[in-house]
A and B are shown apart, each in its own frame.
Chain A
Amino acid sequence: QKEVEQNSGPLSVPEGAIASLNCTYSDRGSQSFFWYRQYSGKSPELIMSIYSNGDKEDGRFTAQLNKASQYVSLLIRDSQPSDSATYLCAVKLGSTLGRLYFGRGTQLTVWP
């Protein structure tokens, strides 16, 4: 089992819909969780971080963390075509110093 796994997609949603991106991780001791967005030809850009169980909202983005289920998700409400990108889940595993483990990413397309 990989340290961090994402539903590979691609995911396609219409404009205005909710996009749901999912990620599971292997280490129960993990403490820090991040979502990065990567546009085609660009570098990954941090959009959300979450450290405690529950939901964290930032504008149209909501990160959800469930440590018991070792699951973190990203919801994008009122999806826009500009949200079309690859979304990378990253986890700081409990046993590591400094290093993040990245999932393979989920490609999201929002069509008008």
Chain B
Amino acid sequence: DAGVIQSPRHEVTEMGQEVTLRCKPISGHDYLFWYRQTMMRGLELLIYFNNNVPIDDSGMPEDRFSAKMPNASFSTLKIQPSEPRDSAVYFCASSKTSGGDREQFFGPGTRLTVL
């Protein structure tokens, strides 16, 4: 089975530009998570969805960040306008509730650099 798919793998943009990160979760998983990882702050949860519905977006740093999940197989994280401090690795992860396990499977990440 394919794992979590993210695109692009690398993104370099200039301050003020819009950035859109994409994620395809593992088929059959009903939870989807967006994380940001930096050396300073570690792995931070930004937002997560259950059955395409946002459950907790308290980790979204500010209004410049938005996330959508229009269907079970696709989610986007958008930053508009982007700033240099948004430079980080953004991970998408998915999990399923059946079976009691809550283990999350991570995608390869998108390395974002904002100049």
Residues 82-112 of B contacting A (Cβ, < 8 Å): 91, 95, 97, 100-109
Which residues of chain B are near A88, meaning CB under 8 Å?
Answer: 43
CB-nearest residue of chain A to B96: A98
B45 interface residue (CB < 8 Å to A): yes
| Contact bitstring B26-61, A, C-beta under 8 A = 1, else 0 | 000001010000000011010010100001100000
Q: Is the CB of A49 within 8 A of B108?
A: no
Count of interface residues, chain B, beta-carbon cutoff 8 Å? 22
Number of A-B contacts (CB under 8 A): 47
Q: Give bound CA distance, A80 to B108, whole Å.
A: 24
Which residues of chain A are near B106, meaning CB under 8 Å?
Answer: 43-45
CB-nearest residue of chain A to B31: A98
Chain A nearest CB from B74 CB (Å) reads: 19
Q: Is the CB of A34 within 8 A of B91?
A: no
CB-nearest residue of chain A to B109: A43
Count of interface residues, chain A, beta-carbon cutoff 8 Å? 18
Residues 14-52 of A contacting B (Cβ, < 8 Å): 32, 34, 42-46, 49
Chain B nearest CB from A25 CB (Å) reads: 14
Q: Give bound CA distance, A32 to B107, whole Å.
A: 21
Q: Is the CB of A46 within 8 A of B55?
A: no
User: Contact check: which of B43, B45, B105, B108 meets A99 at CB < 8 Å?
Assistant: B45
Residues 60-76 of B contacting A (Cβ, < 8 Å): none
CB-nearest residue of chain B to A104: B42
10 examples of A-B residue contacts, CB within 8 angstroms: A34-B103, A42-B108, A98-B31, A98-B48, A98-B55, A98-B102, A99-B45, A99-B55, A100-B104, A105-B42
